[in-house]
Amino acid sequence: MAGNPGQPPIQDGAGFHPIWFQPRNQDAVREELREFREEQIRAERRRADRLRHQHEMHRRPREHRLRASELRHRVYNVEKIFADRLENFECALCKTYIVNTEFEDHLEACAREKGVSENQTNLTKYHFLSQPYFLEQEIFKIREMLEIEYLEVTADREKIMDMHCVICQNPHDHKGGMCYPDRQKSAFKLKVNHPVQLYMAHYENWLFYTKQKGLDEIEEKHAAHFASIERFMTSEQVDLRQYINFNMVSPDIEKIIQYRKILRDDGLEAANNFETVAFPDLPPPEGPVAVAPAVPAEAPAEAARVDQQMEEYFQWFQEQQDQILGRNP
Ligand SMILES: [Zn+2]
Ligand SMILES: [Zn+2]
């Protein structure tokens, strides 16, 4: 690249043209100049694009440019485990958010400071311990332990006697590395039962203390009522005289009870017979209600007509009597 001293060097396809120094007519020169500038602009754009592309490539995660052999030490999905440790959990006692790793220590101190009941402290404690966080961390600890053991054996096979094993039947097999190809899978499956059961126990405890809290609330709400009925809850015998005024009880109470039992067991007729004996002062009981025979529709009109006739007859009969006996109406 020669010429144009004092000018910045022209890059990227905008080559030097000796045309500048040749006497040409003005139109041709202008045309050349325009093309030259356009080419300069295009070159500038290409450069900007390339820089942008390089920048984007640079921004990509490092994994994309690492070889697989460089990633051997990486632990799959470990980011979440460590991120979770920095998450917060709300302390129900002081309503502040505490980092997960410090929560249990905080809760102990907080409960002592606030002087809250053991039930309430346990409720918060087991609520925290029955979060997935607890289980995931415990499983990760097991995984970490077993993986490190496995890697140590890979580096130094003498260390296999320190490696957890659930497959080998005897130390000889184990020393021979029979369980090594299993990559600690069986050991992991067995070990992981413990945190899972612990987690379930925490969850159960949380439910228990939630129930306890509800009971406490109910008791608090209805304490006055419970106090009023408390004496019924005891096994001590209560003196019925404070509830029944025996002076007001009918002296016939035994007869009444007997009557009700006869009515229950033997029916109404027997009860009525008993009543006439036991309560002679009462008017006699009414007999069973007679069921009226079914009457045809024209019966009432007929009956009314007969009544009318009978009435007229009685009137005539009385008049006859009065005349015979000489009485005035
Ligand atoms: Zn607290
Ligand atoms: Zn083994």
Q: Tell whether 116 is covered by a domain.
A: yes
In the reported structure, the alpha carbon of residue 140 is separated from the centroid of ligand 2 by a whole-number distance in angstroms of 22
Whether 116 and 162 share a structural domain: yes
CA distance 206 to 130: 7
The per-residue pLDDT for range 217-236, each reduced to its tens digit, is 888 888 888 777 776 666 66
Written as tens digits, the pLDDT of the chain (329 aa) is 445 556 655 555 555 555 555 556 778 878 888 898 899 899 989 988 888 888 777 765 555 555 555 566 777 778 888 999 999 999 999 999 999 999 999 999 999 999 999 999 999 999 999 999 999 999 999 999 998 998 899 888 889 999 999 999 999 999 998 999 888 999 999 999 999 999 999 999 999 999 999 998 888 888 888 777 776 666 666 677 777 777 777 778 888 888 889 988 888 888 888 888 888 887 766 665 666 666 666 777 778 888 888 888 888 888 877 777 776 65
- For residue 181, the CA-to-ligand 2 centroid distance in Å is 10
- Ligand 1 midpoint to CA 117 (Å): 13
| Residue 79 falls inside a structural domain | no
Given this model, what pLDDT does residue 222 score?
86
User: Same structural domain for residues 30 and 108?
Assistant: no
Centre of ligand 2 to C-alpha 141, Å, is 21
Which ligand is in closest contact with the Cα of 92?
Answer: 1
Domain coverage including residue 24? 18-58
Interface predicted TM-score of the whole assembly (ipTM), two decimals? 0.88
Positive or negative, the CA dihedral 194, 200, 201, 203 is: positive
Compute, in angstroms, the gap from residue 85 CA to the centroid of ligand 1: 18
* Assigned domain for 103 exists: yes
Minimum-distance ligand to the CA of 114?
1
β-pairing, 88-90 vs 97-99, is: antiparallel
CA of 82 to the centre of ligand 1 (A): 23
Distance separating alpha carbons of residues 269 and 287, to the nearest angstrom: 8
Structural contact between residues 203 and 130, judged by C-beta atoms closer than 8 angstroms: yes
**86 CA from centroid of ligand 1 (Å):** 17
36/113 same-domain check: no
Residue 191 lies in a domain: yes
Task: Please name which ligand lies nearest the alpha carbon of 108.
Answer: 1
Residues 35 and 127 in one domain: no
Structural domain count, the chain = 3
- 8 lies in some domain: no
3-state secondary structure the chain: CCCCCCCCCCCCCCCCCHHHHCCCCHHHHHHHHHHHHHHHHHHHHHHHHHHHHHHHHHHCCHHHHCCHHHHCCCCCCHHHHHHHHCCEEECCCCCCEEEHHHHHHHHHHHHHHHCCCHHHHHHHHHHHHCCHHHHHHHHHHHHHHHHHHHHHHHHCHHHHHHCCCCCCCCHHHHHCCCCHHHCCHHHHHHHCHHHHHHHHHHHHHHHHHHHHHHHHHHHHHCHHHHHHHHHHHCCCCCCHHHCCCHHHCCCCHHHHHHHHHHHHHHCHHHHHHHHHHHCCCCCCCCCCCCCCCCCCCCHHHHHHHHHHHHHHHHHHHHHHHHHHHCCCC
Ligand nearest to the CA of 160: 2
* 199 and 125 part of one domain: yes
Residues with CB under 5 A from ligand 2 (ion): 165, 168, 174, 179
Residues 6+ apart with CB under 8 A from 127: 92, 206
| Confidence at residue 1, expressed as pLDDT on a 0 to 100 scale | 45
The angle that helices 78-85 and 132-155 make with each other, rounded to 10 degrees, is 130
94 CA distance to ligand 1 centroid (A)? 4
User: Of the bound ligands, which one is closest to the alpha carbon of residue 187?
Assistant: 2
Compute, in angstroms, the gap from residue 210 CA to the centroid of ligand 2. 45
Write the pLDDT tens digit of every residue in 41-82: 999 899 888 888 887 777 655 555 555 555 667 777 788 889
Query: Which pLDDT does position 279 carry in this prediction?
Result: 83
Is 229 a member of any domain? Answer: no
Same domain flag for 94 and 204? yes
Query: In the block, which residue shows the tokens 């003196």?
Result: 239
Instruction: Indicate whether 49 and 149 sit together in one domain.
Output: no
103 and 188 housed in the same domain? yes
Residue 81 CA to ligand 1 center (angstroms) comes to 24
Same domain, 136 and 177: yes
Q: Is position 280 within any domain?
A: yes
The answer to whether residue 7 sits within a structural domain is no
Fill in the amino acid letter for 84.
D
Domain identity same for 189 and 111: yes
